Structure 1
Amino acid sequence: MENKFKNWLSSKYLKGNIKNPNIKIGDFTYYSGYYHKEEFEDICVRYLLGDGSTKNYKEIYGEDFLFDKLEIGKFCSIGSGASFLLAGNQGHNNKWISVYPFDSEIFPNAKDGFRRKGDTVIGNDVWIGTEAVIMPGVKIGDGAIIAARAVVSKDVEPYTIVGGNPGKVIKKRFSASDIEKLLEIKWWNWEIEQINEALPYICSDDIDGLYTFI
C-alpha cells in the first residue's frame, strides 16, 4: 500500500479535504498519519453514514433521519491511527438477551436495536494522541489532551488530560481561573494577524499576559 504521507514529520490540513457531508472540520486542524499510511477519512472515521460506501444514505433512511455527525474544531492535532467511532450502538442493544443485530430479511420478526448516542464533538486546540479511540457521542472540550491509545467513552472537560482504558482524568492543564480566562478569550477565533501577533504569549505559559494582550 502506498503511504499517503511522505514521512512521520508530514501532516495534512483536513478542512477542504473531507468528502463526507457529516464531517465538519475547523481551520488548521491537521492529521499526521504516516504510521497508518491512509487518509484521515479512510482510516480514522468509522461507521459514519455518508462515506463512499453509504453515499445513498438519504435515499435509504429518508431526509428526516437523524444522522451522527463528527465535528472537530480549529487548531486540533490528531495523531496517526486515532479512531472516531460513530453510529451509536451500531444495533447491538446490551439491554436485550442477545446483542446480535439480526438481519430482518432472514429473521422477519427481528427488531431494530439501533440507538443513537448523538454527535461526536471535539473542541478547539485539542491534541489527540496516536491510536486513541473516541467512542460515539463523546464531547471533548477546548484545549484537552487525549493520551496515545486512550479509550474515551465519557465527555472530557476543557483543558483536561485524559489517558488509559477506560479513559480517566490525569490532571487539569491549568488552574480553574486560568481555564476560565482561556475559554473567555477563545484565541482560536481571532483573525490570523491577531493570532500571529499574540504568538509570543500563546507559545508560552503566560496566560495573564495573553489575557492582558486581548
Structure 2
Amino acid sequence: MPQPFPDPDNRNPLTLPDGTRHQGTVFLRAAIDHPRIEVGEYSYASAHEPPDDWAASLAPYLYPHSPEKLIIGRFCQIADGVQFITASANHRHDGFSTYPFAVFDGGFAEGRASLPGPGRDTQLGHDIWIGEGARILPGAVIGSGAIVGAGAVVGGHVPPYSVVTGNPGRTRRRRFTSETIARLLEVAWWDWPIGDILTHETAICDADLTALERAAACVGAR
C-alpha cells in the first residue's frame, strides 16, 4: 500500500528507505518565505548540498524590495543548480555607462538615473521540469508542461509542452500535437485535489488523454 501523499506544507516530503527525510529535497512553498516569490502546491527543488536559504539559492538577485516577482505554479520540478536571474539583476544598457552608481550610496528609493526601471515578473506554469544547472532569464514565461534541459539558458516565452535546450535556449520540439496540448490545458489536472490526481495517476503518466478527459468531467461535476 502506498503511503499517504505528503502535505504540500511539508518542508522535506521525500522519505528515504531508512525512514529519514531527504534534506536536499523540499516542497518550495514550505521552504521559502520571501515577499516576492509565489509558489504553488507540490512544486519541489532538489540540491546535492541543500542551501540554508532556498530563496537566495534559486533567485539570488530577487530582493525583498524588488519590484518584480518570481511566480512558480503547481507540481514543478527544479533540479540542482537551477537559478532564476530575475529583473533586479539588470543594469541599464541604453546610456553611456552600465554602472549602477546608486547601488553603492543607498540611492535605491530615489529613482536615480543609473538604476534600471522595473522589470517583468518571471513566471512558470504548472508541471514544468527544469534540468540541472539551467538559467532562467529575467521576465521569462514558461508554459505548463515544458521541459528545460540541463544547462539551458532560457528567456522570453516558452510555449506549453515544449522541450527547450541549449544556450541560447531554443524550442527543439513540442511534446505533443497542438490539438493534444489544447486538450491537456483544458483538462488542467494540476488544479484537481491531490486525491483525484493520485486516483488518475496512470492516465496522467501513461498519456491516456481519453481517460483523463473522462476523469476531468467527473472531477468537475462534484
In the superposition, the TM-score normalised over structure 1's length comes to 0.81
SS of structure 1 residue aligned to 2:197:
helix
2:45 corresponds to which residue?
31
How many residues were matched structurally?
Answer: 193
Distance in 2 (CA, whole Å) between partners of 1:19 and 1:146 is: 25
Q: 1:142 aligns with which of 122, 141, 144?
A: 144
Aligned residue number for residue 56 of structure 2: 42
8 Å CA contact 2:43–2:73 kept in 1: the answer is yes
Distance across 1 between alignment mates of 2:29 and 2:94:
39
Q: Is the 8 A contact 2:70 2:122 kept in 1?
A: yes
Tell me, in whole angstroms, the C-alpha distance in 2 between the residues paired with 1:163 and 1:174: 17
Asked if the contact 1:8–1:32 (Cα under 8 Å) also holds between the matched residues in 2, the reply is no
Unpaired runs of at least 5, structure 2: 1-11, 15-19, 107-111, 217-222
Flag the 1:9–1:111 CA change in 2: closer, same or farther, 3 A: closer
Q: 1:51-90 maps to which residues of 2 (within 5 A)? A: 57=65, 67-88=67-88, 90=90
Name the structure 1 match of 2:96: 97
1-structure distance, mates of 2:209, 2:24: 30
Q: CA deviation at 1:116?
A: 2.4
1:166 aligned residue = 168
- Aligned residues of 1:89 and 1:115 also touching (Cα < 8 A): no
Q: 1:128 aligns with which of 127, 130, 134?
A: 130
User: Residue type matched to 2:74 in 1?
Assistant: K
Unaligned runs of 5+ in 1: 51-56, 58-65
1:64-107 CA-to-partner distances (Å, cap 9, x unmatched) read xx7111110000000001000113453x222212211224759x
Judge conservation of contact 1:147–1:163 (CA < 8 Å) in 2.
yes
> Which residue matches 2:25?
11
Match of residue 207, structure 2, among 205, 208, 212: 205
- SS of match in other structure, 2:186: helix
Q: Equivalent residue of 1:161, what SS?
A: strand
State the secondary structure of the residue aligned to 1:16. Answer: helix
Cα pair distance change 1:26/1:105, threshold 3 Å: closer
Q: Distance between the aligned counterparts of 1:149 and 1:7, measured in 2?
A: 28
CA distance, structure 1, for counterparts of residue 37 and residue 55 of structure 2: 9
Question: What is the CA RMSD across the aligned residues, in angstroms?
Answer: 2.6
Shift of 1:117: 2.3
Give the structure 2 partner of residue 53 of structure 1: none
Letter in 2 for 1:19: D
